[in-house]
Amino acid sequence: MATTASLAPLFRQSVGFDRFNDFFESALHSEINASAPPHNVERYGTDHYRIVIATAGLAAADLDLTLERNVLTVCGAEAHTDGGVTYLHQGIAHGPFRLVFHLADHIEVQGATFKNGLLIVFLLRVEPQGAKARRISIHSPGDDPDRPHISRP
């Protein structure tokens, strides 16, 4: 049974949060990727993040990472298995997968490592200089006109 819901009433009084609406709408209508490997999204401190993906049976050459317009996509090829295997229980996904992560503004991918079957993607929040808070001094007629009027806290 498909459920259709619109979150538009929640966003009537907000400006600039339409990406959240798109995110929730896509989450309501997307299918779960059963072959996607388990993963963690971790935060260290205030600006450092990691995405850790368990990629059992894959090598680094079987993985592909792409970043386009704040969307990080991780794709994996089919894991190498012995031919003619009959599984009595299959708990490890062996099919190709695609994971998509929507990164917030000012999140940069710093690099990735592959060790012991774990793909680790390192992320860093870099706040641009213009977005940081700044103190603006108030100039009065008796002040020195050569004195700077903007100071950083």
With bands split at pLDDT 50, 70 and 90, how would you rate the model's confidence at 87?
confident
- Any domain includes 22: no
- Any domain includes 100: yes
Domain that holds residue 113: 38-81+90-151
Number of folded domains that form the chain: 1
The DSSP-derived string for 18-43 is HHHHHHHHHHHHPPP-TTPPPEEEEE
- Only one residue has tokens 């012991």, namely 116
- pLDDT at 65 > cutoff 90: yes
Highest mean pLDDT (candidates 4-8, 29-33, 134-138): 134-138
Instruction: Check if the beta carbon of residue 121 is closer than 8 Å to that of residue 63.
Output: no
- Any domain includes 58: yes
The DSSP-derived string for 103-125 is PPTTEEEEEEEEETTEEEEEEEE
- Any domain includes 52: yes
Highest mean pLDDT (candidates 1-10, 53-62, 85-94, 141-150): 53-62
Question: Which domain CATH number covers 54?
Answer: 2.60.40.790
- Any domain includes 61: yes
